[in-house]
Amino acid sequence: MGDGSDTPHRKALNSALRILARRDHSVAELAQKLTCRGYGEDIVQGVVAECQRLNYLDDERAARQIIDRMKRKGMGARRIRGELLRLGLEGEPAEALLRECVPAAEEQAMARRLSLKKWKTFAAEPDSQKKKLRLQRFLHYRGFSDSVILEMLKELRS
């Protein structure tokens, strides 16, 4: 009769492969997506294990892609950390990878570039205190630490 191509496991695996074809996902993210699609916990665990065995699913690779993408968008370490956490990539391995990929000096340089660019857009604002507050909010939203933000404001004063 059948070749087993319509079993729940096969359907879940096909779903996982379609999901992973778009971009890398974390183990937790893939498991959540499969669970939301109605697959049982045992099937989800089996499919996740199979995807890991086939090297289709790798948390470190997914984390590196997220970090690189967010760095290109000009996001700071705090914002990147939040995104990693949201996607189920947390703990010491994720922190170590974040420290490796976003060293403090690089984050500072990125904040400097963004600050100088954004400062030019505030040229029409006559109140320098308002300009500083706007820049502070902008950098905070982008995920830069308070110490980096203070350093940028000090540099702009001089």
Torsional class of 76: left (φ above 0), alpha (ψ -120 to 50), beta (otherwise): beta
* Domain-located, residue 142: yes
The pLDDT value given to residue 5: 63
* Domain-located, residue 3: no
Could you tell me if 67 and 86 lie in one domain? yes
Q: Which of 1-5, 68-72, 84-88, 90-94 has the lowest mean pLDDT?
A: 1-5
71: its two tokens: 């760095």
Q: Is 3's pLDDT higher than 60?
A: no
Could you tell me if 76 and 97 lie in one domain? yes
What does the DSSP assignment read for 5-33? TTSHHHHHHHHHHHHHHHS---HHHHHHH
Could you tell me if 52 and 82 lie in one domain? no
How many domains is the chain built from? Answer: 3
Parent domain of 86 = 60-101
Q: Is 1's pLDDT higher than 50?
A: no
Give 4-52 pLDDT, tens digit per residue.
567 999 999 999 999 999 999 999 999 999 999 999 999 999 999 999 9
Could you tell me if 69 and 36 lie in one domain? no
Q: What is the dihedral of CA 45, 46, 49, 50, to 10 degrees?
A: -150
Could you tell me if 149 and 116 lie in one domain? yes
* Domain-located, residue 2: no
Give 72-91 pLDDT, tens digit per residue.
999 999 999 999 999 999 88
* Domain-located, residue 14: yes
- The band of 141, judged by pLDDT with boundaries at 50, 70 and 90, is very high
Distances (CA, A) of 84 to 23, 38, 64, 79, 80: 15, 25, 10, 9, 6
Rounded to two decimals, the pTM is 0.83
What does the DSSP assignment read for 136-153? HHHHHHHT--HHHHHHHH
